[in-house]
Chain A
Amino acid sequence: MEDEALGKPPQARSAKIQVSHLDFYYGSVQALYNVSLAVPQNQITALIGPSGCGKSTFLRTLNRMSETVRHTSVEGEILLDGENIFSVDLVALRRRVGMVFQRPNPFPKTVFDNVAYGLRVNGGTRGAALADAVEASLRRAALWDEIKDKLHKSAYALSGGQQQRLCIARALAVNPEVLLLDEPCSALDPISTAKIEELMFTLQENCTLVIVTHSMQQAARVSSHTGFFLLGRLLEFNETNILFKRPGRKETEDYITGRFG
């Protein structure tokens, strides 16, 4: 099997997440076949591939969000820091592995309450400490200066790009070790996209990021490693510059050069 080679990317630093032989089923329909990969710590890993190839499905298994869909089943192993995620507490896992969605999905609450939600629901933080944490998260998401006067306005009053950064700030507030982003820029204009890419760069210092994207350029710009999915299989996984310059497989080359049907 070739996934022995896939499992360990060259010069990988310590793997934050180690996925081995992952199969995923929606009912009786298999969506992922024997996916193995190691997500390197404090780096950005990009997942690319044509629509319907299973990128989102894969991403959502990493924080077990896939379990919210009824009648799904999963086989294989996912280790987070060497620990099997299927045997740890679900709530604790999701606090460690945050998620940002394709379309901005703020809660129908104020900007402040959106960012504070994760801290409140996990108990503890209140009053001044809460306000400080909210400010810190908004600063990390490079949003503070733009909206510090709108903290107590509805989150829906922000622009789409601001809403998406708000959602990132909301995810950052609970200090996740891993941040999963599923096409976070697909609904955004180029300027907002650039801001979010910049933001991801700064975040990798103390966070491991996995991003699904349809933009080859985005994957090439931001990620250190890239995985190419096709029909539920991880066909190729390598350092981004290698994968884009000298793809190991014909299918990958076809896809990244746009020759893919």
Chain B
Amino acid sequence: MGASAETLTGKPAPGGKGQVRTFFRRLRNGDEIAHIFTLVFALTILLLACLLVYELYAHSAVSRHKFGWSFLLSRSWDPVLERFGALPFIYGTIVTSVIALLIAVPLGVGGAIFLAEFAPTKMSDGLTFIVELLAAVPSVIFGLLGIFIIIPIMRESVDPFLQSHFGWLPLFQGPVYGVGFLTAGVVLSIMIVPFILSISREVLLAVPAEQREAALALGATRWESTWQAVVPYARVGILGSIFLALARALGETMAVTMVIGGTPSISSSLFAPGYSIASVIADQFTEATGQAYLQSLIELGLALFVLTIILNGLARLLILATTKRGTAH
């Protein structure tokens, strides 16, 4: 690029040889080296992504031909009869992720606002350090936390409470097992709160002081300046942190596998055990016998990939829609 631009604007190069020489002269400047390196890195990542999709696609051929589109809509998962459908897993993945977001977004964003705007600096830095440590804990540890702490609490306190107060909602009916969608969502929420909190805090701290002061100078209270000036200014970054957290929740495998119950069923009750795409793949991949079974699991992987892309796309659309009118970015 750079070399040819040079020959375009500078003296016309006498054929390819001059171009090559220009190229090598620029190579020594480092510009071209940086150009090539970054290009190679970017292409590698692109290539890896394409390869990944291709592998998933190619190795799910049997399953795709056998079930077609009905794979996505079928609710049966029967290794004996070799009938496979993805719906319970898609359902479980989405439901647990939504529960996780419903809990983690208010906690994470609210905590970030407190730490960035109201807490004393030392306390804010200290708490953030601890929260960021949480993000580094391996997910299997969260799974153990789920099994030994969250499940008993859910079974003995939270679920019965919800049942007795909100039992008129189909969401909170039916038998309580401890494991299930709700518990998996809660464990997931604990895992993703650190992402939302620490990124949102950074974004809020980066808001120029003049934004807050502009609101204060107009007679806004401290809270009004925070909520109406600082947070909207940081909106795009906060949404970004939420999408990152969502991506993490959708793909989380280990911790979810340990607490979701491992039952491919679709139930309106959040107390019911279920399954998610990532956890069924991890659970059953080693024991999958027969091409249809194995390739159905691979097709599930493809479905998860597509689901993540769709949700990311929607998220981007949401950002575009909310930032069209009047935004800093």
Chain A interface (Cβ < 8 Å from any Cβ of B) = 63, 65, 68, 70, 91-92, 94-95, 98-99, 101, 103, 105-110, 113, 117-118, 121-122, 152-156, 167, 170-171, 173-174
- Chain A residues contacting B327 (CB-CB under 8 Å) are 108, 154, 156
Output the nearest chain B residue to A173 by Cβ-Cβ distance. Answer: B218
Asked if B145 is an interface residue, CB under 8 A from chain A, the answer is no
Asked if B74 is an interface residue, CB under 8 A from chain A, the answer is no
Question: Given A70-B121, A117-B228, A167–B326 Cβ distance below 8 Å?
Answer: no
Whether B232 contacts A107 by the Cβ 8 Å rule is: yes
- Whole-angstrom distance between the Cβ of A226 and the nearest chain B Cβ: 24
Output the nearest chain A residue to B323 by Cβ-Cβ distance. Answer: A108
- Chain B residues contacting A94 (CB-CB under 8 Å) are 216-219
- Whole-angstrom distance between the Cβ of B234 and the nearest chain A Cβ: 10
Whether A101 contacts B216 by the Cβ 8 Å rule is: no
- Chain A residues contacting B232 (CB-CB under 8 Å) are 107-109
29 contacts between A and B (CB under 8 A): A65-B216, A68-B213, A91-B219, A92-B219, A94-B218, A94-B219, A101-B213, A103-B210, A105-B214, A106-B214, A107-B214, A107-B233, A107-B326, A108-B235, A108-B326, A108-B328, A109-B326, A113-B326, A117-B215, A118-B218, A118-B219, A121-B218, A121-B219, A121-B228, A122-B218, A122-B219, A156-B327, A173-B218, A174-B218
- Chain A residues contacting B229 (CB-CB under 8 Å) are 107
- Chain A residues contacting B208 (CB-CB under 8 Å) are 105
- Whole-angstrom distance between the Cβ of A72 and the nearest chain B Cβ: 14
Output the nearest chain B residue to A120 by Cβ-Cβ distance. Answer: B228
Residue of A98, A109, A113, A122 touching B217 (CB-CB under 8 A): A98
Contact with A along B55-68 (1 / 0, CB 8 A): 00000000000000
Residue of B211, B213, B217, B326 most packed against chain A (CB within 10 A): B217
Which secondary structure dominates chain B's binding surface? Answer: helix
What 6 A-B pairs come out closest when comparing CB atoms?
Answer: A118-B218, A95-B219, A99-B217, A105-B210, A154-B326, A109-B326
- Whole-angstrom distance between the Cβ of B210 and the nearest chain A Cβ: 4
Contact with A along B285-329 (1 / 0, CB 8 A): 000000000000000000000000000000000000000011111
- Whole-angstrom distance between the Cβ of A85 and the nearest chain B Cβ: 14
- Chain B residues contacting A99 (CB-CB under 8 Å) are 213-214, 217
Asked if B221 is an interface residue, CB under 8 A from chain A, the answer is yes
Output the nearest chain A residue to B211 by Cβ-Cβ distance. Answer: A105
- Give how many B residues have a beta carbon under 8 Å from the other chain's beta carbons: 26
Output the nearest chain A residue to B236 by Cβ-Cβ distance. Answer: A108
Residue of B121, B218, B228, B229 most packed against chain A (CB within 10 A): B218
- Chain A residues contacting B220 (CB-CB under 8 Å) are 91, 121
Asked if B224 is an interface residue, CB under 8 A from chain A, the answer is yes
- Chain A residues contacting B325 (CB-CB under 8 Å) are 109-110, 152-154
A-contacting residues, B213-254, CB 8 Å: 213-221, 224, 228-229, 232-233, 235
Residue of B211, B219, B221, B228 touching A174 (CB-CB under 8 A): B219
Output the nearest chain B residue to A105 by Cβ-Cβ distance. Answer: B210
Whether B210 contacts A101 by the Cβ 8 Å rule is: yes
Asked if B212 is an interface residue, CB under 8 A from chain A, the answer is yes
Output the nearest chain B residue to A64 by Cβ-Cβ distance. Answer: B216
- Whole-angstrom distance between the Cβ of A118 and the nearest chain B Cβ: 4
Output the nearest chain B residue to A109 by Cβ-Cβ distance. Answer: B326
Given contacts A110-B326, A122-B218, 8 further A-B contacts (CB under 8 A): A65-B217, A94-B217, A98-B218, A107-B211, A107-B214, A107-B229, A121-B215, A171-B217
- Chain A residues contacting B210 (CB-CB under 8 Å) are 101, 103, 105
Asked if B80 is an interface residue, CB under 8 A from chain A, the answer is no
- Whole-angstrom distance between the Cβ of B212 and the nearest chain A Cβ: 7
Asked if B209 is an interface residue, CB under 8 A from chain A, the answer is yes
- Whole-angstrom distance between the Cβ of B114 and the nearest chain A Cβ: 16
Residue of B121, B216, B219, B326 most packed against chain A (CB within 10 A): B219
- Whole-angstrom distance between the Cβ of B322 and the nearest chain A Cβ: 11
Residue of A101, A108, A121, A152 most packed against chain B (CB within 10 A): A108
Q: How far is the CA of A106 from the CA of B211 in the complex (A)?
A: 8
Whether A68 contacts B209 by the Cβ 8 Å rule is: yes
- Chain B residues contacting A98 (CB-CB under 8 Å) are 217-218
Whether B217 contacts A63 by the Cβ 8 Å rule is: yes
Q: How far is the CA of A99 from the CA of B209 in the complex (A)?
A: 14
Q: How far is the CA of A236 from the CA of B326 in the complex (A)?
A: 44
Output the nearest chain A residue to B121 by Cβ-Cβ distance. Answer: A70
- Chain B residues contacting A153 (CB-CB under 8 Å) are 325-326
Whether B121 contacts A68 by the Cβ 8 Å rule is: no
Q: How far is the CA of A156 from the CA of B211 in the complex (A)?
A: 13
- Whole-angstrom distance between the Cβ of A120 and the nearest chain B Cβ: 9
Q: How far is the CA of A182 from the CA of B326 in the complex (A)?
A: 25
- Whole-angstrom distance between the Cβ of A191 and the nearest chain B Cβ: 24
- Whole-angstrom distance between the Cβ of A65 and the nearest chain B Cβ: 6
- Chain A residues contacting B216 (CB-CB under 8 Å) are 65, 68, 94
Output the nearest chain A residue to B210 by Cβ-Cβ distance. Answer: A105
Q: How far is the CA of A152 from the CA of B209 in the complex (A)?
A: 25
Q: How far is the CA of A250 from the CA of B326 in the complex (A)?
A: 50
Output the nearest chain B residue to A60 by Cβ-Cβ distance. Answer: B213
Output the nearest chain A residue to B229 by Cβ-Cβ distance. Answer: A107
Q: How far is the CA of A92 from the CA of B328 in the complex (A)?
A: 29
